[in-house]
Amino acid sequence: MSLTPLDYLAAREDRLVEDLKDFIRIPSQSGTPAKQPDVLRAADWVARRLAAAGLEHVSVCPTGGHPVVYGDWLHAAGAPTVLVYGHYDVQPAEPLHLWTTPAFEPQIRDQKLFGRGASDNKGGVMAAIAAVEAMIACSGRPRVNVKFCIEGEEELGSPSIGAFVKAEANRLACDLVMSADGSMWTADQPQVVLGLRGNFAACLRVWGPSHDLHSGIHGGTVLNPLEALSRMLASLRHPDGRIAIPGFYDDVLELSARDRAAIARVPIDEAAWKSEAGIPAFHGEPGYSPIERTWIRPTVEINGLWGGHQGAGPKTIIPTEAHAKLTCRLVANQEPERMFALLDRHLAAHTPPGVQSSLVAEGGLARPYAIPGDHPANRILTEVLTEVYGAVPYETRTGGSIPVLAMFAESLGAPAVNLGAATPDACVHAPNEFVHLRALHRAARSMARFCERLAAARARGPG
Amino acid sequence: MSLTPLDYLAAREDRLVEDLKDFIRIPSQSGTPAKQPDVLRAADWVARRLAAAGLEHVSVCPTGGHPVVYGDWLHAAGAPTVLVYGHYDVQPAEPLHLWTTPAFEPQIRDQKLFGRGASDNKGGVMAAIAAVEAMIACSGRPRVNVKFCIEGEEELGSPSIGAFVKAEANRLACDLVMSADGSMWTADQPQVVLGLRGNFAACLRVWGPSHDLHSGIHGGTVLNPLEALSRMLASLRHPDGRIAIPGFYDDVLELSARDRAAIARVPIDEAAWKSEAGIPAFHGEPGYSPIERTWIRPTVEINGLWGGHQGAGPKTIIPTEAHAKLTCRLVANQEPERMFALLDRHLAAHTPPGVQSSLVAEGGLARPYAIPGDHPANRILTEVLTEVYGAVPYETRTGGSIPVLAMFAESLGAPAVNLGAATPDACVHAPNEFVHLRALHRAARSMARFCERLAAARARGPG
């Protein structure tokens, strides 16, 4: 019996880990101006690795922003075509002092590989490359056609790939998108993801006096921009957790009782969740369970704020201006453009006389995304995950965003399934991000097996 | 006729300016850990300059914090003793990019000398040294005994000098304190200052999740510490400007109708004030004029805040913690310790469930200070200022704080008069701080003349 892709992957697990370490060492922070050369280095690294895996037509394709890395293997005439999506950019690693080992010097401890991007999303991208390399290497197996589309601006909200996918719709044409930017319920429990939240980001600036004022000379007679900012930010929600922006919930698609019952069947370990988050209690919109608040309800979050004196000791000033970074997570059928406009209008209405404010969009917009649980691709995915993990996957949603999935659906007419190596405990976007090594290898095996099973299903004809 | 101190000062105006430039070149930011060597350099510079002026027993005296520079000239037996107070430390110069010329490279433009500390307080200290040098040099004039007490922690709230003054009460014994850390109404209009606000500083920390959380995975179900901070800060005041901290106004001494009428007689150019502050409108406690809000009413100000992501681009996190720097300006008879306790209790009561908070005092406490308008020293000061400026001084108060004045009153039993080179337009505590050169020279002349007149009054006996 000839070598199978799974045999091939099993024999090369060490190489997959070493490749991922090399990939992590490139600090490809797309949101950090000083790291732009590293972002390009990461694109080049992906292109070389795709070529080494046997992909053809490999190219680093310019976009309006960071390039997309493309490659394909199209020698399975008549078989379906799978487009692999992932991203080579990462979140900022700051605050650096909270990392046990440096963010860009990957280290293995307790069967986990630590480093910025280990789970989000360099692990998933590397697993997909390994899976496709295995399929190409093991000739004679039933196989699919494969295309890779790996972007460099996911952590910015994918501002450029929408135009790229639209312009390159012929080159990217496929039957199905396999997103490598997915996650599993745990390292041992798989999931099939039916929905993702949308997202947009904005920066709020509030300004008052033309320069920092002495708080003794002026204090008591000038509206302090930091006080105004605090008041404006506090106005975004009611104290009980409901969003207070007028009209914000108008377009939210309320789920049926059946859908909410399906969510209730997913076993959520709320104690473990609180422990992982390091919080004493949940807080959020009344009338919804904690998991519903993150899966099917929108949120507005303050991601950062700053203004005035932030160093050691006192400084007795009334600062000239203040800033806050905001993001909103959206659910079907909220349109990001409309939600930004509602936020903008609310903040303008809550800008006290004596200061001025502006709200500027940052990064791209992500629409919410959904795929039916009984889609044929999800039926195959459920089979494969059950085999690889030895456990039946949960049907879940996720509170995070992958903006490009809605773009693929729109421009290519292709649905997407979610695979990947990330897990909720993996500190993505935070210090000490890691990937479980067994989740990494299971991701690679699931991807290879899913492609084979997809080809076999096509060969049998529609089921 | 022999040379008078005023002749001496007139002949050496250039030297006073060059000395002040040298003094400004030392970046003695007492609140900046990296600048501690420069703070000590500034103390040494003052000591050398005092010795060069003819002061004796010059010494750099250790305290619990930065040293006090002492020097005396005690050869006027039977004459009164004046203790000159000032400070050699300065506020941080940040944000540096807003300075037209570098903060510690003094430059003259339009008859103003620009540089951090030019007005607050290196100009006043240098004027006092020049005045005393002139008095010592011109022997044969009626003169007073002089002591200098120049501290290095005024910008931290004078945390160490209280204990120093108490321990060194014999060495510092005097009839009157002449503060060189005062200011004039304008460069051409003098004032006699009857009151100063007290002050204390604190740092608020609010923390929730044990690490930064992904806003997609957790957003909607965790109380965001930045939202909590905003809500807590917004709770400090009613939107109309009244402080909302329970009990905060209880100890405020309401002024009599006569005192408020005296304040109303001081011509306040509110349009110019707004223009200098760069604000479209005043904002503050109803029922009080803008100048009353800064002179006779307390305030609570947010001097800075920070938390979470503050760099370029978006970062989709719920941050683990947030911080704010706060100061309160106090008026008689508010006790700083009690006001800190009220603020602490209010913030604790407004800390929402799901986060924790702490309030830590920073720097020292300043009690409010007052001196009667008809005090004999103020009568002499009024004469001298009328002569030097060619204008009758206004009787004013000031919203700023000089913590040590209450300490001198307590430990030495000596009242204080306020002189100095600062003016309200001088951007103290802000970028592009300057001193008007004519205000600098008038300060030196006023100080010399005040000391002579004080001695003459004593010689004549109580009036």
pLDDT in tens, A391-439: 989 989 988 877 788 889 889 999 999 999 999 899 999 999 999 999 9
Q: Nearest-CA neighbor of A126 among A3, A51, A21?
A: A21
Three-state SS string over chain B comes to: CCCCHHHHHHHCHHHHHHHHHHHHCCCCECCCHHHHHHHHHHHHHHHHHHHHHCCEEEEEECCCCCCEEEEEECCCCCCCEEEEEEECCECCCCCHHHCCCCCCCCEEECCEEECCCCCCCHHHHHHHHHHHHHHHHCCCCCCCEEEEEEECCHHHCCCCHHHHHHHCHHHHCCCEEEECCCECCCCCCCEEEEEECEEEEEEEEEECCCCCEEHHHHCCCCCCHHHHHHHHHHCCECCCCCECCCCCCCCCCCCCHHHHHHHHHCCCCHHHHHHHHCCCCCCCCCCCCHHHHHHCCCEEEEEEEEEECCCCCCCCEECCEEEEEEEEEECCCCCHHHHHHHHHHHHHHCCCCCCEEEEEEEEEEECCEECCCCCHHHHHHHHHHHHHHCCCCEEEEECCCCCHHHHHHHHHCCCEEECCCECCCCCCCCCCCEEEHHHHHHHHHHHHHHHHHHHHHHHHCCC
pLDDT the model gives residue A142: 55
Note the pLDDT tens digit of each residue in B331-385. 988 999 999 999 999 999 999 999 999 999 998 788 898 787 778 998 999 999 9
With beta carbons less than 8 A apart as the criterion, state whether A53 and A127 touch: no
pLDDT the model gives residue A404: 84
Burial A234-268, CB ≥16 within 10 A → b, else e: bbbbeeebebebeebeebbeebeeebeebbeeeeb
With beta carbons less than 8 A apart as the criterion, state whether B216 and A403 touch: no
Band (pLDDT 50/70/90 cuts) for residue B463 is: very low
% of chain B with per-residue pLDDT over 90: 83
Domain parsing of chain B, residue ranges: 5-196+368-460, 198-252+298-366
User: Can you tell me the distance from the alpha carbon of B140 to that of B455, in angstroms, rounded to the nearest whole number?
Assistant: 13
Q: Nearest-CA neighbor of B207 among B361, B360, B357, B309?
A: B357
Note the pLDDT tens digit of each residue in B397-447. 988 877 788 889 889 999 999 999 999 899 999 999 999 999 999 999 999
Q: Directed axis angle between helix B36-53 and helix B122-137, to 10°? A: 20
ipTM here: 0.73
pLDDT the model gives residue A257: 82
Contact at CB, A313 and B31, closer than 8 angstroms: yes
Segments of chain A with pLDDT less than 50: 462-463
Burial B233-270, CB ≥16 within 10 A → b, else e: bbbbbeeebebebeebeebbeebeeebeebbeeeebee
Contact at CB, A220 and B293, closer than 8 angstroms: yes
> Is residue B142 predicted with pLDDT exceeding 60?
no
Structure tokens at A110: 């307790």
Note the pLDDT tens digit of each residue in B87-141. 999 999 999 999 999 999 999 999 999 999 999 999 999 999 999 999 999 876 6
Contact at CB, B303 and A318, closer than 8 angstroms: yes
Contact at CB, A325 and B307, closer than 8 angstroms: no
Would you say how long chain B is, in residues? 463
Enter the pTM of the model: 0.74
> Is residue B462 predicted with pLDDT exceeding 60?
no
Structure tokens at A370: 């959904």
Greatest distance between any 2 Cα atoms in chain A: 87
Contact at CB, A230 and B302, closer than 8 angstroms: yes
Class for the domain spanning B5-196+368-460: alpha beta
Contact at CB, B354 and A280, closer than 8 angstroms: yes
Q: Which is it for the CA torsion A189, A98, A293, A375, positive or negative? A: negative
pLDDT the model gives residue A179: 95
Band (pLDDT 50/70/90 cuts) for residue B266 is: very high
CA distance B288 to chain A (A): 10
Using an 8 Å CB-CB cutoff, list chain B residues near A397: none
With beta carbons less than 8 A apart as the criterion, state whether B313 and A363 touch: yes
Structure tokens at A211: 């320069």
Contact at CB, B231 and A236, closer than 8 angstroms: no
User: Can you tell me the distance from the alpha carbon of B368 to that of A141, in angstroms, rounded to the nearest whole number?
Assistant: 87
Q: Using DSSP bridges, classify how beta strands B213-214 and B317-318 pair: parallel, antiparallel or unpaired.
A: antiparallel
Q: Could you tell me the CA-to-CA distances from A349 to A56, A173, A235, A245, B52 in Å, in that order?
A: 55, 46, 10, 10, 62
Q: Does domain A202-252+298-366 have CATH number 3.40.190.80?
A: no
Note the pLDDT tens digit of each residue in B205-216. 999 999 999 999
Using an 8 Å CB-CB cutoff, list chain B residues near A221: 282-284, 290-291, 293-294
Question: Of B156, B230, B301, which has the smallest distance from its Cβ to A224's Cβ?
Answer: B301
Using an 8 Å CB-CB cutoff, list chain B residues near A234: 227, 230-231, 234
| Burial class of B281 by CB neighbour count within 10 A (0 to 12, 13 to 18, 19+) | exposed
Using an 8 Å CB-CB cutoff, list chain B residues near A354: 279-281, 283
Neighbours of B151 (CB within 10 A): 29
With beta carbons less than 8 A apart as the criterion, state whether B136 and B446 touch: no
| Burial class of A337 by CB neighbour count within 10 A (0 to 12, 13 to 18, 19+) | exposed
User: Can you tell me the distance from the alpha carbon of B308 to that of A256, in angstroms, rounded to the nearest whole number?
Assistant: 37
Contact at CB, A305 and B311, closer than 8 angstroms: no
CA distance B386 to chain A (A): 24
Structure tokens at A105: 């010097």
> Which residues does A362 contact at the CB level (< 8 Å), separation at least 6?
A157, A201, A202, A203, A325, B313, B314
Contact at CB, A398 and B201, closer than 8 angstroms: no
Q: Directed axis angle between helix B437-460 and helix B13-24, to 10°? A: 110
| Burial class of A64 by CB neighbour count within 10 A (0 to 12, 13 to 18, 19+) | exposed
Three-state SS string over chain A comes to: CCCCHHHHHHHCHHHHHHHHHHHHCCCCECCCHHHHHHHHHHHHHHHHHHHHHCCEEEEEECCCCCCEEEEEECCCCCCCEEEEEEECCECCCCCHHHCCCCCCCCEEECCEEECCCCCCCHHHHHHHHHHHHHHHHCCCCCCCEEEEEEECCHHHCCCCHHHHHHHCHHHHCCCEEEECCCECCCCCCCEEEEEECEEEEEEEEEECCCCCEEHHHHCCCCCCHHHHHHHHHHCCECCCCCECCCCCCCCCCCCCHHHHHHHHHCCCCHHHHHHHHCCCCCCCCCCCCHHHHHHCCCEEEEEEEEEECCCCCCCCEECCEEEEEEEEEECCCCCHHHHHHHHHHHHHHCCCCCCEEEEEEEEEEECCEECCCCCHHHHHHHHHHHHHHCCCCEEEEECCCCCHHHHHHHHHCCCEEECCCECCCCCCCCCCCEEEHHHHHHHHHHHHHHHHHHHHHHHHCCC
Query: Per mean pLDDT, which range of B40-44, B107-111, B263-267 is the poorest?
Result: B263-267
Q: Nearest-CA neighbor of B453 among B85, B174, B86, B178?
A: B178
Neighbours of A144 (CB within 10 A): 25
Q: Which of B97, B295, B303, B323 is most worth mutating to test chain A (most A CB atoms within 10 A of its CB)?
A: B303
Using an 8 Å CB-CB cutoff, list chain A residues near B304: 226, 307-310, 315, 317, 319
Note the pLDDT tens digit of each residue in B64-83. 999 999 999 999 988 999 99
User: Can you tell me the distance from the alpha carbon of A183 to that of A423, in angstroms, rounded to the nearest whole number?
Assistant: 5
Using an 8 Å CB-CB cutoff, list chain B residues near A400: 214, 216-217
Please, what is the average pLDDT of chain B?
A: 93
Structure tokens at A375: 């889609």
pLDDT the model gives residue A81: 96
Residue corresponding to tokens 């694109």: A43
User: Can you tell me the distance from the alpha carbon of A403 to that of A61, in angstroms, rounded to the nearest whole number?
Assistant: 19
Contact at CB, B315 and A91, closer than 8 angstroms: yes
CA distance A364 to chain B (A): 10
pLDDT the model gives residue A253: 84
Interval B57-64 mean pLDDT = 95
Band (pLDDT 50/70/90 cuts) for residue B185 is: very high
Strands laid side by side in the B394-398 sheet: B369-370, B191-196, B394-398
User: Can you tell me the distance from the alpha carbon of B86 to that of B91, in angstroms, rounded to the nearest whole number?
Assistant: 14
CA distance B72 to chain A (A): 32
Contact at CB, B230 and A231, closer than 8 angstroms: yes
Structure tokens at B346: 């209010």
R_g of chain A computed on alpha carbons: 23
Output the CATH code of domain B198-252+298-366. Answer: 3.30.70.360
